[in-house]
Amino acid sequence: MPGTVYLVGAGPGDPDLLTVRAHALLRQCDAIVYDSLVPNEILQLVSSTCECVFVGKRRGAHSVSQFTTNDILLELVKRHSCVVRLKGGDPFVFGRGGEEAEYLHNHGVSVKVVPGVTSGIAASAYMGIPLTHRDGCSSVTFVAGHEGINKKEPSVNWKSLALSSQNIVIYMGVYNLQFIIDQLIDGGMSPETPSAVIQQATVKGQRYLITTLMQLAEKVEKEQFVSPAIVIIGSVVNFQVEACAPLPSEVTMPNSFS
Ligand code: SAH
């Protein structure tokens, strides 16, 4: 196979958070395959001759299946030397990057990963919340609140997480929030545990709220928080230094329906 597929992390949205390597690859690639949660300002970095393929979700429609995405990548890399598979955040954090890397590798394709700033880390920074703190916050767990639809049983044991992790960062958790909170409280987590949710971190429309675990789901619903959002649960929320949070960028996030 002549070309290479680069699995590139686009970061959480603000183009200033792209890595230098991601920026260079976007400028030079012959083809790009991208999904939701990537602002146009980042996509506009590619050359006018670059072949652009969207494989994300459109409102009211299903996303392109993983099977098809793999085929598209395979077909493109037969014709091009530099193919970028661009993913929001980091490609190896809840982004199916592992599945794509495995598929491409098994088909004899050269594939390289370019890490990105994952939204869980960006989200905490943009609220001024450190994810760890020496005063009693030495562990943090990244968890998917919504798992693959093909899984028969949930693979996250929320009850056991309640006591085993001091701080929990939840991706894709907004729609399942009441269930998650009930499980955590059942598992022994205090209903008073400080909790935060941030929507559209780093881009226009960013907003967040801080409350207790017990009140989180109700407030999220009342304030109409929607995806994409990150939930942070744990005492680390109390260490917020709001003044250190950067201002969100003015770019908007299209297709935010994951
Ligand atoms: N690979 C991505 C995660 C993809 S899963 C990463 O590393 O960030 C999609 C989920 O990521 C969303 O449902 C949401 O929970 C989170 N997310 C992505 N971008 C976000 C943003 N700008 N603000 C808040 N959450 C975001």
CA distances from 172 to 24, 101, 197, 202, 251 (A): 30, 22, 11, 17, 21
Q: What is the DSSP string of 65-127?
A: PHHHHHHHHHHHHHH-SEEEEEESB-TTSSSSHHHHHHHHHHTT-EEEEE----HHHHHHHTT
- From 19, 37, 63, 170, the mutation candidate for ligand 1 (largest count of ligand atoms within 8 A of CB) is 37
CA distances from 209 to 149, 184, 248, 252 (A): 29, 20, 15, 20
Q: Does 39 sit in the ligand 1 pocket, CB within 6 Å?
A: no
- From 17, 119, 174, the mutation candidate for ligand 1 (largest count of ligand atoms within 8 A of CB) is 119
Confidence grade of residue 161 (pLDDT, cut at 50, 70, 90): very high
Q: Is the pLDDT of residue 258 over 50?
A: no
- H-helix or E-strand spanning residue 161: helix 158-164
- Give the residue among 87, 122, 91 at the shortest CA–CA distance from 203: 122
Percentage of the chain beyond pLDDT 90 is: 85
**CA of 145, closest atom in ligand 1:** 15
Tens digits of residue pLDDT in 203-247: 999 999 999 999 999 999 999 999 999 999 999 999 999 999 999
